[in-house]
Chains A and B, each alone.
Chain A
Amino acid sequence: MQAVILAAGEGKRLRPLTHTMPKAMVPVANRPILEYIIRALEKNGIREIIVVVGYKKEHVIRHLNTLDVPVRVVVQEKQLGTAHALACAAPLITGDFLLLPGDNYVDTASIARIMREKNAVLTWEHPHPSNFGVLVIKDGLVKEVIEKPQEAPGFTVSTGIFSLDPSFLRYLEETEIPDAVNRMIRAGTPLKAVAAADWQDAVYPWDLLKLNAALLRDVRQERAGRSGPGVVIRGRVSIGKGTTIGPNTTIMGPAVIGDDCDIGANCVVMPETSIGARVRVEPFTMIGQSVVLDDVNIGSHSRITEAVVGTGSHLGDHATTFPTKTIFSIEREMIGAKFGAIIGDQMRSAPFCIFRNCIVGNDVVIDDGKTIYGEIPDGAKLL
């Protein structure tokens, strides 16, 4: 069986993280989302994998080359919708195939379930269905997909994962997959609804925290690097090569720390935390329920919780993220969310900054003693 993964989209609602990489490449528990999907396919014995790339395609291709799973790459030159993306891969499709979005997490068991069916969709019960394609289901068959409805008729949504036969390809004049699916159903081909075992989507940047927590449950325990005296490590913890953990630091799993990090003395890493490669955490700092990407530097006496910190950012000493709830406007949608901070790449903040439920863009420079809330655009200087 073939599998087509669509990884051409940008994921605008995930900005600022997707300014430098496509959504499929956003790392969760130190691995890009796309990699989890490929692994799940691999475990089900699906070896002919086609990945459609577009936005920042070189980043995706480069990463695919580091995997030992052979994949074929198809380029969608312009992002003209998901149906068009699949159409780009159509010449390579020779039989029944799985169609998957490259930017959602799905587990191995769900793939096994849908593989057995022909013309089926994996479904998921979601408390906020309006962000997804809501499914109208009767007798186990999908009657209609209603994309992002104001008033959702139910809680069952489409995961975007389909098992299809090649005849589906003739409906691809539409721009988006759900429209093509609706046309197929209207033309008389029934579409079965199959419930997924585990599926997670990150629509907004703060969803990454939840996704991260979920994926950390399966983290492989590895202990490389060096630990100083008095280091306490509890639960599932993976520590990368070349990393040093300073004296008296406590790490509570599930947590993952990448290669060549330097975690200072007397630090605390709380559960549900992912720390990338080459991250430096200075002494007396606490990090919890957060995603810290590569090459980040976090100053002494900081408290980082419920935060995403982008690549290469430097947080000065005494930085605090303060989880509260406010309303954000993302892609002209108003949405309330509670989290500490989403910080883009290469941010520089001086000591004593408080990040209070904010989304900070890339390359932002912040002077000392500021309290930051709301949205800060790329390149802003808060002096």
Chain B
Amino acid sequence: MCGIVGYIGWRDAAPLIIEGLRRLEYRGYDSFGVATENGDIRVVKKTGRISDNHLDLSALSGTIGIGHTRWATHGVPNEQNAHPHTDCTGAIAVVHNGIIENYAVLRRKLTEKGHHFRSETDTEVIAHLIEEYYTGDLLAAVTETVRHLEGSYAILALAKDDPRIVAARRSSPLVLGIGDGEMLCASDVTPLLDHTERVTFLEDGDIAALTPARIDVYHDGIPVERQVDHITWSVDDAKKGGFTHYMLKEIYEQPQAFYNTIKGLEGDSRLAMVRIAPELTVAACGTSYHAALIFRYLAEYYGRKRVNVELASEFKYYAPPIRELVIAVSQSGETADTLAAIDQAKAHNCPALAITNVLGSTITRKADWTLFMCAGPEISVAATKSFTAQLAVFMAMVNTMCDRQFDDVLVHAHCSIERVLSSELGKAVALISGAEEMFYVGRGVFYPVALEGALKMKEISYIHAEGYAAGELKHGPFALLSPETPVVAICMPGRTYGVMLSNIKEMKARGAPIIGIGVEGDTEVEHVVDIFIPVPDDHPMVRVLTVSVVLQLLAYRTACALNRDIDKPRNLAKSVTVE
């Protein structure tokens, strides 16, 4: 997914477009660029987030412009590949959202005709095609161009001698905004709402020519009228697409994020590295650290492979790595401590493998290899779908260690994740939202799951929640248990079941109300605990996922009940770029 914005009117286009792109950041944020027309075409591009970068706009004068914020799914996000793309002469600039399926064929044909390509993107063929058909009328050139395109697109085009923006769409969204002596266009209404309430939605196959005064829409070359709608909703509503919070939106995107990541890694030869490496060390922070701890349990139990897991911020204080493969995990790929861990590994001649969600982030340039989680942009500060996607990468590694015996389990795991999304949590939320402190306990692989559950609760509900290995409770924390401290206990069938059950009974004896998470139909646990939350009786590896998702929802619903600012919790930032 990418976002595009165009402006034509009487104001300086570039700052307006940058502001619009910032509104579209939820559609992608790995690189961006703007082109303006003022006698000639000027282009400025940059990698990274719009919010984090200060772009020097002094080169971009003019009241006509187009911009693009990119979320690369294939191809590296560098300045070359960033939009806008220009033709050979630099007289035409194009931004595009979508995928041109026949771009390889077109590219070959255009190269034969002598066109010179500078990027690896599919979009650049559009610029060269327009050049091919351009004879002074941009609208005619675009009309001819789209005839040759297969796939999906929303295109905005500028030409040096044509004082118009030409827009075209098929299967990718594009909205026009009608202002006062100015016209805008964008991937969705959010960038338009600052300037106008009057919008027109283009239909599939429409081509529109924008001038400051009017919009002319054509379909199959015939002028058509498109209805003008009045938009009365706010920017935030639009971006969250109906969800109350980004966090909830992202929680609900987890089945897809997990499946996409598993699918994306299918047949990836880099997974085999974890199998060859004599030993593995994982360095990560926060939620990623918890995902890494889960990996340790899974890899050691199923894969019989030694795994060290270190907090990236403490990594440099330990003895340096010797010969192991160092895996660094960071959603944003910009976490300062995690980057430092990679530097450390490389300084000691250890191979470094990165796991990240953002193509082209700093971590991908530092590491020897990178595995991507296909979670899509994550906006909420509390990580949810990136955690699940990290687990997908780790589980794919474990699967490789075990000769792919879990193929079937992983491919269908999203079904169980989907099911726990509708878990009934009302009673548990009522209990927790009245508490000031609480505990999460688990054993084995569910110990890091408990840690992550507690972290989510702390982050967004501000309740002091502590995660413990159930066996450690007796070494101190037991003194804190009282009827005012709810305990979330994870009790799953398997090696830890019996001892976990007796731990629960001990905690109950201290008067602490227990919220038990067990598998569906486990009447024994249901009987012992005060509130029982069931998860599907799926493969043990899948239960790690489902319990994690239940705990995310528990934190989310509690924070809702307490009226917290869920997407932007106090004192926290999405990516921590300082040590």
Contacts and interface: CB of A to CB of B under 8 A. Distances in A.
Contacts of B242: 53, 61, 64-65, 71-73
A100 to B, nearest CB: 18
Contact of B227 (A45, A61, A62, A65): A45
B476 interface: no
B149 to A, nearest CB: 17
A379 B520 contact: yes
Contact of B243 (A47, A61, A260, A311): A61
Nearest to A94: B230
Interface string A344-383: 0110000000000000000100000000000000010000
Considering residues B188, B201, B233, B242, which has the most beta carbons from chain A within 10 angstroms of its beta carbon? B242
A312 interface: yes
B263 interface: yes
Given A20-B419, A312-B412, A48 B229 contact: yes
B415 interface: yes
A56 interface: yes
Contacts of B421: 58
Given A58-B252, A65-B241, A70-B188, A312 B233 contact: no
Contact of B201 (A53, A59, A70, A294): A70
Given A65-B249, A70-B238, A345-B415, 16 more contacts: A56-B422, A58-B243, A58-B248, A61-B241, A61-B243, A62-B253, A65-B242, A68-B172, A73-B241, A278-B411, A312-B412, A345-B419, A346-B415, A346-B419, A346-B536, A363-B520
B483 interface: no
A71 B229 CA distance: 12
Interface in A54-83: 56, 58-59, 61-62, 64-65, 68, 70-73
A295 interface: yes
Nearest to A242: B263
B520 A70 contact: no
Contacts of A48: 229
B450 to A, nearest CB: 25
Interface in B204-237: 226-227, 229-230, 232-233, 237
Interface string A79-110: 00000000000001010000000000000000
Considering residues B189, B238, B241, B414, which has the most beta carbons from chain A within 10 angstroms of its beta carbon? B241
Interface of A: 20, 42, 45, 47-48, 53, 56, 58-59, 61-62, 64-65, 68, 70-73, 92, 94, 260, 278, 294-295, 311-312, 345-346, 363, 379
B175 to A, nearest CB: 7
Interface string B376-414: 000000000000000000000000000000000001101
B173 A70 contact: yes
Contacts of B243: 58, 61
B229 A312 contact: no
B415 A70 contact: no
A48 B175 CA distance: 13
B415 A312 contact: yes
Given A61-B242, A295-B415, A70 B189 contact: yes
B521 interface: yes
B422 A47 contact: no
A45 B113 CA distance: 41
B415 A311 contact: yes
B411 A47 contact: no
B111 interface: no
A367 to B, nearest CB: 16
Interface in B241-276: 241-243, 248-249, 252-253, 263
**Pairs A-B, 4 closest by C-beta atoms:** A73-B242, A61-B242, A65-B241, A312-B415
A61 B239 CA distance: 12
B102 interface: no
B171 interface: yes
Interface in B88-111: none
Contacts of A312: 412, 415
Contacts of B229: 47-48
19 contacts: A20-B418, A20-B422, A42-B203, A47-B201, A48-B229, A58-B248, A61-B252, A64-B241, A70-B173, A70-B175, A70-B188, A70-B189, A70-B238, A71-B242, A92-B232, A94-B230, A295-B414, A295-B415, A312-B415
A92 B201 CA distance: 19
A379 B241 contact: no
A254 to B, nearest CB: 23
Contacts of A53: 242
A58 B245 CA distance: 11
Interface in B170-206: 171-173, 175, 188-189, 201, 203
